Amino acid sequence: MVIGDNSLGFETGLLTTAMGIMPHLDPERALDMAFSLDIPFWPQLPNLSFNEDTYVQTVAGFPGAEVDYEGLRITFDEGRFYESLEEYLSCEPDSDYFAMTPEQSATYGGFLDRAGDGFPALRGQFMGPISLCLMVKDSEGKPIIYRDDAREIAIRHVAAKVNRHLADLRRVNPRSFVWVDEPGLEFLFTGISGYTAESARKDLALFLSLVEGPRGVHLCGNPDWDFLLQSEVQLISLDAYNNREILMGYRRGLASLLARGGAIAWGAVPTHTNLLDEETPVNLAARMEELWLGLEEGALQRRQIINRSFITPATCCLVNPDLTATVEKAFGITREVRDILRESIA
């Protein structure tokens, strides 16, 4: 299979990065960890404050959205939505209205201060539009994903947030990219009546058409992979540790992603204490080698896969009893797995 031009604009070659959500309470320590990997990322710290919740940071500025800090939820007020809609729609997509500010994040200012052009790239993230629309509910408890009016505005809102975030990062490092977290894709077609696969496909296509730069999606779960792989997504970040056997069945779709210039961030290192304690860097590298061998499709060879691959922790984790220790250990092991895999192809 012929591999297309790299849509990211730089060589991935097993570079390391990680998910943005971190269990830390100390912003400086979280930044230290984010900058310990090849591609630094903007950390989000929901254990520190509900302001740090990715949904909250993404929904900021969306008309009719109200953040309930006591109930830890986001609600939608239809009246306020229509009252503010005209003014909202007058905002240019690249305006400061959609900018992330240090007041909205304990780490954002520090991340930009530390970042620079010397890194292979910088990476940002927001919540994806489908997951956001599943989370935000109206006064009757109904997700706005069922509302055609609010859902389309939400799709465009997330795209504007992503594009402005990307512009901020690219002023510091022109190779920067942003992916969206879409945990809702795992549950999209499991009991959600009234929102069809065709609607979801159109909504995802609209969102991807609005996003600048490499179009990336991160998910830790096990969604309808065909749905995602048949889209115009150019970068997929996934949990390869827990979904290895499932992914084997999608080698044609993954190969097609790489053939059209895409890349894959393989979540190779578990971040849950009970899983990580049972593994070694050598074992984890061997698991990735086995997965890649099983994914070879036609002329797509192991080296081609590796050339379009990142290595990451498998998931974020906020629930370990040790809070941060296992996650930080996983970051270190991620670097070791990278080195072992690079040696194997030297």
pLDDT in tens, 174-217: 999 999 999 988 877 666 667 888 888 899 999 999 999 899 99
pLDDT tens digits, one per residue of 136-158: 999 999 999 999 999 999 999 99
Same domain for 270 and 339, yes or no, is yes
Residue 1 pLDDT greater than 60, yes or no: no
Q: According to the model, what pLDDT value does residue 196 have?
A: 80
Q: Would you call 323 helix, strand, or coil by DSSP?
A: coil
**How far apart (Å, rounded) are the C-alpha atoms in residues 123 and 129?**
18
Same domain for 76 and 181, yes or no, is yes
Q: How many Cα atoms are found within 13 Å in the side-chain-facing hemisphere of 272? A: 8
Same domain for 39 and 104, yes or no, is yes
Long-range contacts of 101-105 (CB under 8 A, 24+ apart): 104/51, 104/57, 104/60, 105/42, 105/44, 105/51, 105/52, 105/57
Same domain for 164 and 36, yes or no, is yes
Say if 324 falls within a structural domain.
yes
Query: Residue 240 CA to chain centroid, in angstroms?
Result: 14
Same domain for 290 and 145, yes or no, is no
Same domain for 203 and 323, yes or no, is no
234 and 206 in contact (C-beta within 8 Å)? no
Q: According to the model, what pLDDT value does residue 346 have?
A: 67
Say if 126 falls within a structural domain.
yes
Burial grade of 184 (CB within 10 A; 0-12, 13-18, 19 or more): buried
Nearest to 217 by CA among 19, 33, 23: 19
Residue 24 pLDDT greater than 60, yes or no: yes
Any idea which of 51-55, 188-192, 258-262, 321-325 has the lowest mean pLDDT? Answer: 188-192
Sheet holding 216-219, edge to edge: 15-16, 309-313, 263-269, 235-238, 216-219, 177-181, 123-127
Q: How many domains does the chain have?
A: 2
Q: Side chain identity at 165, as an amino acid letter?
A: H
Length of the chain: 346
Say if 234 falls within a structural domain.
no
Say if 236 falls within a structural domain.
no
pLDDT tens digits, one per residue of 214-238: 999 999 888 888 888 889 999 999 9
Q: Integer distance in angstroms from the first to the last C-alpha of the chain? A: 23
Same domain for 35 and 139, yes or no, is yes
The two tokens of residue 125 are: 């993230």
Higher pLDDT, 257 or 59: 59
**Within 10 A of 116 (CB to CB), how many other CB atoms are there?**
11
Q: Are strands 216-219 and 263-269 parallel, antiparallel or unpaired?
A: unpaired
**How far apart (Å, rounded) are the C-alpha atoms in residues 229 and 257?**
7
DSSP 229-274: HTSS--EEEE-TTTSHHHHHTTHHHHHHHHHTT-EEEEEEE--SHH
Q: Side chain identity at 279, as an amino acid letter?
A: E
Say if 230 falls within a structural domain.
no
H-only helix segments in the chain: 27-34, 54-59, 78-89, 108-114, 129-135, 148-172, 197-210, 225-229, 244-248, 251-259, 273-276, 281-295, 302-307, 325-345
Mean pLDDT of 34-50: 97
Same domain for 8 and 37, yes or no, is no
pLDDT tens digits, one per residue of 98-108: 999 888 999 99
259 Cβ contact list (under 8 Å, min separation 6):
1, 2, 3, 4, 300
**Within 10 A of 101 (CB to CB), how many other CB atoms are there?**
10
Say if 160 falls within a structural domain.
yes
Say if 76 falls within a structural domain.
yes
Separation in Å, CA 83 to CA 19, 149, 150, 187, 312:
36, 14, 13, 32, 44
Q: Which residue is associated with the tokens 């296992």?
A: 326
Give the structural domain span for 252: 1-19+246-346
Same domain for 187 and 250, yes or no, is no
In this structure, what are the phi and psi dihedrals at residue 317, rounded to the nearest 5 degrees? -155, 120
**How far apart (Å, rounded) are the C-alpha atoms in residues 287 and 264?**
16
Q: According to the model, what pLDDT value does residue 2 have?
A: 55
* Residue 172 binned pLDDT confidence (cut-offs 50, 70, 90): very high
